[in-house]
Amino acid sequence: MPFRHPLTILTYLLLTTLTQTCQSPAPTLSLQNQRPAQPPTAPFGLIDQTERPAALPADALLIGEIEIKEKGFTINCDYASVRKAAETEARRAGANLLEITEHRLPDYASTCHRIRGRLYLVAEPEAYEDRVYWSAERRLGYRNFRGDTLERPFQAATSTNITYALSAVTRFGKYRLRVQSYFDPRLSYFKHGRQDSTVLVHEQVHFDITELYARKFRRYASETTFNRPTVQAELERHFASLIPDWQREQDRYDSQVYANRSLQPGWTIGIAAQLDSLVDYAEPEVILRINK
């Protein structure tokens, strides 16, 4: 049940002098079979045919087609933001899987990522998730662990990460920081055996600890007034200082519970209480304060 930590720290910084009205990426949809909207925390799958070609599930119902492109002066159009915009529109249309068929990188014609794709409704979107973002409404399940179990020494292993992205948001020079913790299904595995439910709870707490440190980072960002020339460096420096504590807490959790399994309930309750104490920092986005 060890915590695995291939840390993925994604940072995007758009430092543009903004003199026009800013807009988000513009989605264009063509719907054939619209369905009731999908909840925002329900499983949502991705097949990126431009990066990892894969066959669609046999039960896939085509909901429609989508294109995300630049509209006027657009910011927040890095790949993560564009993909999120596509997912949001797909959920509204009742889809739970996005198939990306075209991905145009920023170039001389546009500073934005642009994508085209198709939207589907499938029975098991979990089989196509590449990330499960932390949510109080969604707990990990056995189907989320899709890593290879051959020759693995433990019953389960969890890979969780924190990403953060910094972008300009208004012509008045404010910045938005988006911090998210997520579980990587492809690098996490679960071998069914004795005490499956107990092991699953153990792995969930590893994920919860990662979210706890994401909240600590958001708290720092919320309470700090940054200097414009050094905002990126200040964020990177503080995040780097959190990583050793994050790792030590994961290791301390494993070592204590391995030595005495009766400590598991206490850890589960304790981490939940710490998350509750930082509930003011549960939202992924923070608007930074900048010195004038």
Domain ranges of the chain: 3-15+131-290, 26-128
Tens digits of residue pLDDT in 181-216? 999 999 999 999 889 999 999 999 999 999 999 999
Tens digits of residue pLDDT in 148-177? 999 898 999 999 999 998 887 655 668 889
Q: Characterize the bridge pairing of strands 285-290 and 45-48.
A: unpaired
Tens digits of residue pLDDT in 109-128? 888 899 999 999 999 999 99
Q: Is the pLDDT of residue 5 over 50?
A: no
pTM for the whole thing? 0.86
Q: Tell me how far apart the alpha carbons of residues 210 and 178 are, in angstroms, rounded to a whole number.
A: 15
Q: What is the mean pLDDT of residues 53-58?
A: 95
Annotation: CATH topology of 26-128: Translation Initiation Factor IF3 (3.30.110)
